């Protein structure tokens, strides 16, 4: 009866719990190793004693706790400017890429125009081309156009977001076409159908694209390295990289760690709030590819 | 289901041969909506691809696109350049270890997390292990340049010093530097692979396990004979993505070793070789030739890995 059902359950559970405990401990130990670099970065970044060289032995608390390291970092490396620039670049790329992807995804899924399959195939096959192969002609193109050191060099290529088109098309395919047919019968213009009827339903896929694009653009270094010449235009990655590149790596530990900490704050803040969505988006992008 | 949408549909799909090349309003709309994508793909993917091929047959000086035709000389030069071969072998070495260790560790980690019954803990561990993945290559490299500090002050050297091991020149000893890069990229990429594997693990049908349990299979054998074979497509996907990523290594080695690939050229990679020739030596022709070689290598590796998967499939 009910008594047997209750007594049956705890037996396997108790047997498993030792394994589960070991498992949990192993995973905790592993996660500790994973976050040691961050902890060490934070400790060093607040340690005025480590401004010229690493202190020995390693501390679990700064030798001379101070935020002066951050003051020095922010005066030597124009962090506010770079973070602002990165925000500008990311926002533009996110806007252009996701709009391009949504518009083309909508057209490919719902309009089914002549040649739609060719367009999709062409776009998807270009995803195979490594950026490293096209970067030199792209750089020369922008230098011919006089757009080196100009954020248009980020915004214009953002139109080519084939993976986003693929994601958006797959998403629109799941939405019923009858919505469009009904709206068209009511005399709605095509763009109105797109923006008023379908776009409000697209928040999940927009969120995915924004997350993937933000992480990609915010952390990118190679293209900014080629395009950005003047220090006032630097994005955060290139600003940080150029500072260490020019001063030599392994110099001024606490200053560099303070700057690195500051550069990570936006990404980690976004991660803390959207952690679940970010992980889902990455998993989705991995599986879809 | 009225006749109107159907009639419209046949016109749209060009069902009537006479109308094949007549664009309806719908077709124009389609191209208008796709215009940003089409322009983007043509100008920033297709054109540069052909321009790179064109340039690779030319000797360029300075930043002009037109140079003198030299045929295959750029390719010949690269294939005869010891630095190119060094770059290629370094790239392979680091790529191979990163991929193999990355997949092994993340698969074990994903299996461990998946077996955890504690839901909150599962999400917590996912989040923690994934965290390094949102950190940029620049920040990762800076972090590890101090963790791997060459003298006894570095954290890692301090820890191994507790076991009586002499300080290692992680990023300064040419023999060690490539492996330090592997360790660093392992930290950065572990979470990504783990998330993909976890998604895969959750997709394994339960009844397969139940059937195996009936046959008396334990946890380990279920893992070996059901989970691993079932996830083979994901393993292949990881191999392909990891290989492609590994072949493109640039940011970390550039920041640590500069354009010379120091220490002692041990961190010279193919992309670094391309970058150095294009933007320091203004040898755009040579650089594009090498970028085509890189593309070919990636393509061949990708095709080989895909074939490997197919052959195994047919054997089973």
Taking contacts as CB-CB distances below 8 angstroms, the residues of chain A near B134 are 215, 219, 267-268, 270-271, 278
Helices (H), B80-176: 82-115, 119-130, 137-147, 155-162
Direct distance between the N- and C-terminal alpha carbons of chain A, in angstroms, rounded to an integer: 51
- Predicted TM-score of the model (pTM): 0.88
Averaged pLDDT score across all residues of chain A = 88
Distance from CA of A245 to the nearest CA of B (A): 6
pLDDT at B101: 96
Ordered domains of chain B (ranges, CATH): 25-73 (no CATH), 75-311 (1.10.3720.10)
pLDDT category of residue B152 using cuts at 50, 70 and 90: confident
pLDDT at B132: 92
Q: Which residue, chain included where needed, has tokens 């839901």?
A: B119
Taking contacts as CB-CB distances below 8 angstroms, the residues of chain B near A154 are none
**B64, pLDDT greater than 70:** no
pLDDT digits (tens, 9 = 90+) for A151-168: 999 999 999 999 999 999
* Surface of A (76-135) touching B: CB under 8 A: 96, 99-101, 103-104, 106-108, 111-116, 119, 122-123, 126, 128-135
pLDDT digits (tens, 9 = 90+) for A58-84: 777 888 888 888 998 888 889 899 999
Neighbours of A211 (CB within 10 A): 22
> Which residue in B has a C-alpha nearest to residue A261's C-alpha?
B139
CA torsion sign for A8, A11, A16, A17 is positive
pLDDT digits (tens, 9 = 90+) for B296-310: 999 999 999 888 777
Cα–Cα separations (whole angstroms), residue A214 to A29, A88, A211, A219, B196: 31, 11, 5, 8, 20
Residue bearing the bigger pLDDT, A287 or A82 = A82
Query: What ipTM does the predicted assembly reach?
Result: 0.88
B105 within 8 A of B186, measured Cβ to Cβ: yes
pLDDT category of residue B4 using cuts at 50, 70 and 90: very low
Helices (H), chain A: 2-8, 10-45, 68-76, 79-106, 116-126, 131-144, 152-155, 162-174, 178-185, 190-192, 203-219, 222-227, 236-247, 253-288
* Mean pLDDT in residue range A174-196: 90
pLDDT at A184: 87
* Mean pLDDT in residue range B188-214: 88
> Which residue in B has a C-alpha nearest to residue A264's C-alpha?
B135
* Mean pLDDT in residue range B95-100: 95
Taking contacts as CB-CB distances below 8 angstroms, the residues of chain B near A250 are 145-146, 149-150
pLDDT at B63: 52
Among B2, B30, B152, pick the best mutation site for testing chain A contact (most A Cβ within 10 A): B30
Averaged pLDDT score across all residues of chain B = 86
Secondary structure (DSSP) of A95-148 = HHHHHHHHHHHHIIIII--TTHHHHHHHHHHHTTS-HHHHHHHHHHHHHHTT-T
* Mean pLDDT in residue range B283-301: 93
Neighbours of A174 (CB within 10 A): 9
CA torsion sign for B289, B293, B294, B295 is positive
Residue bearing the bigger pLDDT, A247 or A14 = A247
pLDDT digits (tens, 9 = 90+) for A9-60: 444 555 568 888 999 999 999 999 999 999 989 998 998 887 777 777 777 7
pLDDT category of residue B142 using cuts at 50, 70 and 90: very high
Residue bearing the bigger pLDDT, B4 or B130 = B130
pLDDT digits (tens, 9 = 90+) for A72-117: 888 888 989 999 999 999 999 999 999 999 999 999 999 889 899 9
pLDDT at A11: 46
pLDDT at B165: 87
């Amino acid at each position: 009866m009910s008594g047997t059902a209750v007594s049956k359950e705890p037996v396997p559970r108790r047997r498993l719990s030792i394994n589960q405990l070991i498992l949990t401990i192993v995973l905790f130990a592993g996660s500790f190793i994973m976050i040691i670099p961050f902890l060490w970065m934070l400790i060093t970044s607040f340690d005025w004693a480590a401004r010229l060289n690493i202190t020995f032995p390693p501390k679990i608390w700064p030798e001379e706790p101070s935020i002066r390291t951050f003051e020095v970092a922010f005066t030597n490396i124009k962090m506010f400017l770079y973070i602002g620039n990165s925000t500008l670049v990311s926002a533009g790329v996110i806007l252009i890429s996701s709009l391009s992807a949504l518009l083309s995804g909508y057209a490919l899924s719902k309009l089914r125009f002549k040649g739609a399959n060719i367009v999709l195939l062409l776009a998807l096959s270009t995803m195979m081309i490594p950026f490293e192969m096209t970067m030199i002609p792209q750089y020369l193109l922008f230098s011919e156009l006089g757009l080196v050191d100009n954020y248009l060099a980020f915004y214009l290529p953002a139109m080519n977001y084939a993976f986003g088109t693929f994601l958006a098309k797959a998403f629109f395919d799941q939405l019923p076409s009858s919505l469009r047919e009904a709206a068209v019968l009511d005399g709605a213009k095509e763009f109105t159908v797109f923006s008023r009827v379908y776009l409000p339903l697209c928040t999940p896929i927009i969120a995915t694209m924004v997350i993937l694009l933000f992480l990609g653009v915010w952390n990118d270094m190679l293209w900014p390295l080629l395009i950005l010449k003047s220090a006032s235009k630097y994005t955060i990655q290139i600003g940080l990289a150029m500072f260490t590149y020019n001063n030599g790596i392994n110099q001024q530990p606490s200053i560099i760690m303070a700057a690195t900490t500051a550069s990570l704050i936006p990404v980690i803040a976004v991660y803390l709030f959207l952690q679940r969505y970010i992980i889902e988006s990455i998993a989705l992008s991995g599986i879809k590819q | 289901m009225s006749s109107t949408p159907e009639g419209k549909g046949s016109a749209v799909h060009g069902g009537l041969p006479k109308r094949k090349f007549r664009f309806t309003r719908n077709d124009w709309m389609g191209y208008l909506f796709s215009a940003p994508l089409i322009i983007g793909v043509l100008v920033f993917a297709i054109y540069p691809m052909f321009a790179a091929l064109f340039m690779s047959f030319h000797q360029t000086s300075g930043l002009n696109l037109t140079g003198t035709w030299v045929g295959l000389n750029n390719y010949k030069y690269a294939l005869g350049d010891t630095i190119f071969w060094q770059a290629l072998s370094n790239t392979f070495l680091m790529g191979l270890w990163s991929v193999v260790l990355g997949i092994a560790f993340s698969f074990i980690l994903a299996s461990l997390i998946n077996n955890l019954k504690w839901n909150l803990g599962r999400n917590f561990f996912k989040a923690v292990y994934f965290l390094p993945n949102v950190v940029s290559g620049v920040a990762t490299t800076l972090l590890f340049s101090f963790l791997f500090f060459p003298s006894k002050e570095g954290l890692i050297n301090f820890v191994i010093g507790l076991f009586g091991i002499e300080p290692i020149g992680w990023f300064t000893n040419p023999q060690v530097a490539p492996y330090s890069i592997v360790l660093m990229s392992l930290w950065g990429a572990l979470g990504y692979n783990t998330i993909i594997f976890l998604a895969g693990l959750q997709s394994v049908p339960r009844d397969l396990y139940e059937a195996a349990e009936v046959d008396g299979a334990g946890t380990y054998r279920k893992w070996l004979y059901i989970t691993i074979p079932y996830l083979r497509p994901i393993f292949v996907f990881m191999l392909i993505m990891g290989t492609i990523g590994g072949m493109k290594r640039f940011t970390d080695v550039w920041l640590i070793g500069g354009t010379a690939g120091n220490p002692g050229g041990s961190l010279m990679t193919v992309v670094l070789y391309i970058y150095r020739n294009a933007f320091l030596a203004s040898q755009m022709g040579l650089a594009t030739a090498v970028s085509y070689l890189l593309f070919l290598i990636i393509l061949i590796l990708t095709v080989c890995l895909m074939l490997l998967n197919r052959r195994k499939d047919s054997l089973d």
